[in-house]
Amino acid sequence: MEALREKAITLDQQDPLKAMRDEFYIPKMPTGKERIYLCGNSLGLQPKRTANYIQQELEDWKFLGVDGHFEARKPWMPYHEFLTRQMADVVGGQPEEVVVMNSLTVNLHLLMVSFFRPTKERFKIMIEKNAFPSDQYAVKSQLEFHGYDAQAGLLELPPSSGCAYTKKEDLLKYIDEHGSETALILLSGVNYYSGQSFPLQEIVEAGHKKGCIVGFDLAHAAGNVDCRLHESGADFAAWCTYKYLNSGPGGMSGVFIHERHAKDFDLPRFAGWWGHDKTSRFKMPDTFQPEEGAEGWQLSNPPILAMAALRASLSIFDEVGIKELRKKSVALTSFFESCIQSIPTERIQIITPKEPSDRGCQLSLRVQGGDKSIFEALSNMGVVSDWREPDVIRIAPVPLYNSFQEGVLFAEKLEKAVLADN
């Protein structure tokens, strides 16, 4: 481990993003020592600048009241627009294709109202077999809402033989075999359990070739991998912002709708006044006229304080850029992998794909014969990670605030926890 420690020190010294760690509050143990925080795939850390962004809005509300809608330093009326360009850069969309609104599962339902249009011959929805439960609930309820049996209408993409994830060739084969009966393909950008990153563009091309609508849940992908949504050709996508995008617990969601749908006003949608054409919104017409692009799917005026927290984090992403983040992410995750593999035991299995292009900054670990006690031992040693039933510990070395030296420290603590579990 000593050689890895020396390498980590060098890598941290050479890291062009090392100063970013100081932009975040790192949780501490009762002793005052910083914890090893590897849970950004569940909740990102708080940027130090967040409080100032929120405080500005509190002050404007305090002194301006309702006039803050037009006279605040960042007027509340168009406030969501202050996030659009930066958010579009993070996910690789055009500004007119992206909007911040609502929460993730709400947005998935709103998008399926428009893009899940089942017919007698083509009514199924394709998702991963081990998709996040909320996605399972959402698509099953959509099938039932349209009068279909949820089990009969659900196509669950299985993992490849001997793997916790689906190899690309098996994934594309599955789409080819089942595409003709599929109305909607709705896959994750990065699977929450295995950490697998899906090839978005190849999925879209395969799905469109079979006549399917293709959308993505990017909850674990936005701010983690370079999604290139516009380039991928995806019909739509949605994501939360409280994981890698550090908007705070329960933070808002983002939505992408490809520009080819921007003026398709015949698409059915659930309407609300914030999605109405801006030029006539305050004339209060009784007929809904959608705004062009993703903004036309909005329902209500946005929560300013929640958006202020997200705007603070996006300002950091704007300074760094997703490509630089991804570059460090690949190096950092690979280094953590090397540290884990140096532990002298065969009990630890990394179930995340090995190729950097097939994963984000998450590693999912399975300890043979282990149980939650290993996770609890790590927690007691100051490691903040994530336990997923029945036997997986997820860690996420986040390039904005995790260091290479933490890879060595984590591996040492994991080794101690595993050796004690005999």
DSSP for 340-405 reads HHTSS-S-EEE-S-SSGGGB-S-EEEEETT--HHHHHHHHHTTEE-EEETTTEEEEB--TTT--SH
Say if residues 125 and 143 touch (Cβ distance below 8 Å). yes
Decide if 419 contacts 72 (C-beta within 8 A). no
The domains spanning 2-47+321-420 and 78-319 adopt the same CATH topology: no
| Domain residue limits, the chain | 2-47+321-420, 78-319
The CATH class given to the 78-319 domain equals: alpha beta
pTM: 0.96
* 349: nearest Cα among 357, 340, 358: 340
Which backbone phi and psi does 363 adopt, to 5 degrees? -125, 125
Angle at alpha carbon of residue 318, lines to 251 and 45, rounded to 5°: 40
Class of the CATH domain delimited by 2-47+321-420: alpha beta
Whole-number Å distance between alpha carbons of 316 and 284 = 38
The four Cα atoms 108, 387, 19, 2 give a dihedral, to 10 degrees, of -150
DSSP, residue by residue, 177-246: HHGGGEEEEEEESB-TTT-BBP-HHHHHHHHHHTT-EEEEE-TTTTTTS---HHHHT-SEEEEESSSTT-
pLDDT in tens, the chain (422 residues): 789 999 999 999 999 999 999 999 999 999 999 999 999 999 999 999 999 999 999 999 999 999 999 999 999 999 999 999 999 999 999 999 999 999 999 999 999 999 999 999 999 999 999 899 999 999 999 999 999 999 999 999 999 999 999 999 999 999 999 999 999 999 999 999 999 999 999 999 999 999 999 999 999 999 999 999 999 999 999 999 999 999 999 999 999 999 999 999 999 999 999 999 999 998 999 999 999 999 999 999 999 999 999 999 999 999 999 999 999 999 999 999 999 999 999 999 999 999 999 999 999 999 988 889 999 999 999 999 999 988 899 999 999 999 999 999 999 999 999 988 76
